[in-house]
Chains A and B, each alone.
Chain A
Amino acid sequence: MDYTIIVVIEILRAISWLVLLAAGLGIIFGMMRVINFAHGEFLMLGGYTVIMSTKAGVNIWFAMLVLAPLCVGLFGVLVERLVIRFLYGRILDSLLATWGLSLLMIGGVTLIFGNTVEGVSTPLGAVDIGAYSIPAYNFVLIFFAALFMVAIWGVMKFTRAGLIARATMQNPAMAEALGIRTTWVYMATFGIGSAVTGLAGGLLAPLTGVVPTMGVNFVGQSFITVITGGASMIAGTLSASTLLGSISQGMTILTGPVYGDAALLLAALVLLRLLPQGITGRIFTRSL
């Protein structure tokens, strides 16, 4: 019984992990059809923000929840103004440019901070569930993944900003004709997507080794989740994370991490063969 509870929490946490990793990327891809290849490095930047500010004495929660999204969000706006805005509608060029950006970021962070700095321990300690103990921080991840989804849905559905964003997404030319400055919408979207990625990077920092090259460990899972999910930000991210997270964690628990990894890739392959536009290309097509 204890073990069943642990397994359920573990699967929920795996789903949340994918939601957190993919949400920022999903916003940018869903809105603007731009693939940010430096996504892993945006996560890394969020992680470094947390580590460096905690070292300087800042409260870890403030660093994770405020500073990380703020820094990475502003950085995202800068990147959009300097690089991305010249490349809208040119998917391959934007891939190449953001890949170059990722190398630049790895080099820059290595140059400034060196490649080994003491990380931060996971806050909150452990909780006992029967004979098992798990990190209490797991619940933080699950909570924030849920909050992300609800917040994005709420903003898109009920605010004027969300309405403008949806209009731009559906028909940029018509939105422009109605007096919406779409370039600003794109800039804001890229900034918000980056901020969400920064927040995710901040939340991951106490769970993993924060080094300049850490992005590569996350970028694969993030892309697979977004592409499998398809163009809808919320339904796509949520359905793909749930499906892939439970398949890979289920396999990991049953057999081991090697097959867990393989199962995730296999599931993504089969899904994309059957639904080349992603899950939301066929199902939940009208959802956000």
Chain B
Amino acid sequence: MTKLSRRRFLQSSAAVAAGSVALPFAGLAQDDAILVGGLHDLSGGLDTSGIPMSQIFELALKEINDTGGLLGRQVKPVIYDPQSNMSLYSQYATQLALKDKVAVVHGGITSASRETIRPIFHRFKTLYFYNTLYEGGVCDRNEITLGTTPAQTVEKLIPYVMNLWGKKVYTVAADYNYGHITAAWFKRYVEENGGEVVETEFFPLDVTQFGSTIAKIQAAAPDIVLSAMVGTGHFGFYRQWAAAGMKSRIPMASTTFGAGGSEPIIMTPEEGDGIITSFGYYPTIDTPANIAWKEKIAAAYPSNTPVLSELAEVTWEGVMIWADAVREAGTLDREPILEVLESGKTYDMPAGKVSIDPLTHHAIRDVYIADLKDHEFIIKEKYEQVPPADTQMVCNLEEDPDANVHHEISLN
């Protein structure tokens, strides 16, 4: 009969305890999926944009898994809902970088949210893709920015509409940095094309009544109204404009109307038809790539189909371009991936050809002009490979690879 000494008992029970603690870790090591972070507003005021972006984000990851995964591993989304709340953005960004240790993060919608999370990812060296159109000026080697900036869309839109309608312009814009910077670009290109901005008015985001502005616009009698209005409060502008019978008198163009895809749905045809816009993507782009992409989305989301806009399409681009760079680099390490991204490759996307400008990490991409008719954007013009000229004015990542700023681009 063996005697169970106290020492032996302790040893064996310690081994058992160690084994039971170690087991979950062994389990985790087998499930070696690559974690990909997604931070989109799934609730709160920005959910109209955030939900479609997140749906497309998940679909893109599924597509990667269906076509064999990455580096022989599966990819797995880690999704948090920052609820349009900046303190949650910073909390979840830190969590993604330090706790989940994701390979890359896609997300952020407003510039405020991006400037909350961008420095966090920069500090923790977590690769970050910002897939939203914005006012331009971010200079950070850790961030890839694929959406259009004002220089890309405004530069094309202004001569197009001035040619159609005339030279006298009245600008209405949202009262925060995006609206102010876009209005400054409106002014620059209107003047470069020999026109004149007779008045620029800014509106706080909670303004919902526009009667006096509409009267002032009538008094100024411009040839064109340019709108950089943003958000749900400002929907009322388009509605009250039509109600005052102005649709048939003064035409309107915008680089924000329909940015997240919801305005063309919410506005009735008599209110929205004839507004000319410019973006990097429209669902009506008539290429086999885009048609196939839309079919894929409709098949994946037969009900609750995401509203397609530049935001949603560029999110797809972001995930696909990241995956391509991982494959080519053969690793998840940030540095080799960034080198591939900076190599000047061109990617075929539903929106057209996209390449990354190595000096700014912004996209050089096709830009479209479209006219809204019966809830659909009818594409009028396509401009190929437009550079992000605004950010190029202030950013050179080759000279200053450690840059970590958002430049306020001043045009004065």
Contact = CB atoms under 8 A, between A and B. Distances in A.
A116 interface: yes
Q: Which of B201, B208, B262 has the most CB of A within 10 A?
A: B208
Interface residues of A, dominant DSSP: helix
A211 B266 contact: yes
A217 B232 contact: yes
Contact of A7 (B215, B232, B270): B215
A115 B262 contact: yes
B334 to A, nearest CB: 36
Contacts of B243: 121-122, 125-126, 135, 137, 206-207
Interface in B217-262: 218-219, 232-236, 239-240, 242-246, 249, 261-262
A239 B208 CA distance: 22
Interface in A227-278: 249, 252-253, 256-258, 260-261
Contacts of B392: none
Interface stretch (A9-17, A159-167, A193-201): A9-17
Contact of A256 (B201, B208, B249): B201
The interface centre, meaning the residue of A117, A131, A133, A220 with most chain B CB atoms within 10 A of its CB, is A133
B266 A209 contact: yes
Contact of B270 (A114, A121, A208, A261): A121
A107 interface: yes
A122 B244 CA distance: 9
A135 B244 contact: yes
B288 to A, nearest CB: 28
A167 to B, nearest CB: 38
A3 B206 contact: no
Interface stretch (B41-49, B57-65, B111-119, B344-352): B41-49
A115 B48 contact: yes
B209 interface: yes
A257 B202 contact: yes
A14 B209 contact: yes
Interface in B138-169: none
Given A120-B268, A125-B245, A256 B202 contact: yes
B230 to A, nearest CB: 12
A233 B175 CA distance: 34
B271 interface: yes
B47 A110 contact: yes
A6 interface: yes
Contacts of B244: 126, 133-135
Interface in A5-55: 6-7, 10, 13-14, 17
A218 interface: yes
B212 A208 contact: no
A216 interface: yes
B239 A208 contact: yes
Contact of B232 (A131, A207, A209): A209
A13 to B, nearest CB: 6
Contacts, number: 142
Contacts of A218: 208
A43 B307 CA distance: 26
Q: Give the bracket for the number of chain B residues in contact with chain A.
A: 35 or more
A268 B232 CA distance: 25
B110 to A, nearest CB: 14
A138 interface: yes
B268 A118 contact: yes
A211 B270 contact: no
A161 B372 CA distance: 53
Nearest to B219: A3
Given A134-B244, A217-B206, A117 B239 contact: no
Contacts of A116: 48, 261-262, 265-266, 307
Interface string B190-224: 00000000000111101111011111101100000
Contacts of A14: 209, 211-212
A214 interface: yes
Interface string B308-325: 000000000000000000
B44 A213 contact: yes
B235 A209 contact: yes
Contact of A213 (B45, B207, B242): B45
B51 interface: yes
A48 to B, nearest CB: 12
B47 A258 contact: no
Nearest to A210: B266
B218 A133 contact: yes
B212 A133 contact: no
B285 interface: no
A210 B239 CA distance: 11
B267 interface: yes
Interface string B120-137: 000000000000000000
A208 B219 CA distance: 23
Contacts of A214: 232-233
A61 interface: no
In order of increasing CB-CB distance, the 9 nearest A-B pairs are A209-B235, A126-B245, A122-B243, A135-B243, A208-B236, A217-B233, A116-B262, A133-B245, A116-B265
23 contacts: A6-B215, A114-B304, A115-B47, A116-B265, A117-B266, A119-B235, A121-B239, A122-B242, A122-B243, A126-B244, A131-B218, A207-B236, A207-B240, A207-B243, A208-B208, A208-B236, A209-B233, A211-B235, A217-B232, A249-B212, A257-B201, A257-B213, A260-B212
Given A116-B48, A120-B268, 13 more contacts: A118-B267, A118-B268, A119-B235, A121-B268, A121-B270, A122-B239, A133-B245, A133-B246, A134-B244, A206-B243, A209-B232, A211-B266, A257-B203
